[in-house]
């Protein structure tokens, strides 16, 4: 059986990487959904699920997800690998990220809300689709915060 033209190289499969099988006829276009939920709920999960299916979304990032590690089990999305930056204390915070099964990805926490005076949250997702590498930063920056993004490594295939 011939390999898919979008088959990811096995040399990237190191600790922290998630590899899934690509689907036949996979588009080279990367579909991304970004949503500020102001706190996830089951009522908000339903339309997100519908958008993921309707638009064949590859990656989603939900800002202000307000989900703790123990509540993640209630926010599963079929056919997606989930990564969670949990909420910080009682404020609306946290980022829920999903990567469609079939893509190779690596998730890194760059900055959490309580780590410095700059209270933004940043995660980095490296994703490979059709042998193309994309670097995606999901950033939540609350009002009146003055973030410093000078340390981010941005190239032509970076999405912020």
Q: Domain spans of the chain?
A: 10-159
**Residue 79 contacts residue 58 (beta carbons within 8 Å):** no
CA dist 146 and 84 (Å) reads: 24
pLDDT of residue 70: 94
Which homologous superfamily is 10-159 in?
Answer: Endonuclease/exonuclease/phosphatase (3.60.10.10)
Pairing outcome for strands 158-159 and 80-85: unpaired
pLDDT of residue 12: 37
**Residue 135 contacts residue 155 (beta carbons within 8 Å):** yes
pLDDT by residue for the chain (160 residues), tens only, comes to 333 334 333 333 334 444 444 455 557 789 999 999 999 999 999 999 999 999 999 999 999 999 999 999 999 999 999 999 998 876 778 999 999 999 999 999 998 887 667 788 999 999 999 989 999 999 988 888 887 777 777 777 678 7
Q: Residue 156's Cα: distance from chain center in Å?
A: 19
pLDDT of residue 25: 53
DSSP 9: P
């Amino acid at each position: 059986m011939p390999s898919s033209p979008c088959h990811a190289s096995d040399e990237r499969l190191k600790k922290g990487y998630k590899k899934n099988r690509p689907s036949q006829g996979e588009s080279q276009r990367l579909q991304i959904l970004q949503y500020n939920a102001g706190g996830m709920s089951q009522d908000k999960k339903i339309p997100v699920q519908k958008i993921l299916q309707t638009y064949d979304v590859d990656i989603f990032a939900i800002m202000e997800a307000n989900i703790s590690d123990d509540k993640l089990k209630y926010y599963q999305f079929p056919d997606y690998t989930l990564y969670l930056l949990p909420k910080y204390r009682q404020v609306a915070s946290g980022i829920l990220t999903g990567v469609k099964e079939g893509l190779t990805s690596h998730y890194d926490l760059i900055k959490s809300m309580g780590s410095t005076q700059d209270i933004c949250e940043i995660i980095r997702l490296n994703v490979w689709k059709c042998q193309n590498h994309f670097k995606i930063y999901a950033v939540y920056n609350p009002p009146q915060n003055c973030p410093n993004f000078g340390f981010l490594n941005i190239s032509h295939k970076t999405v912020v």
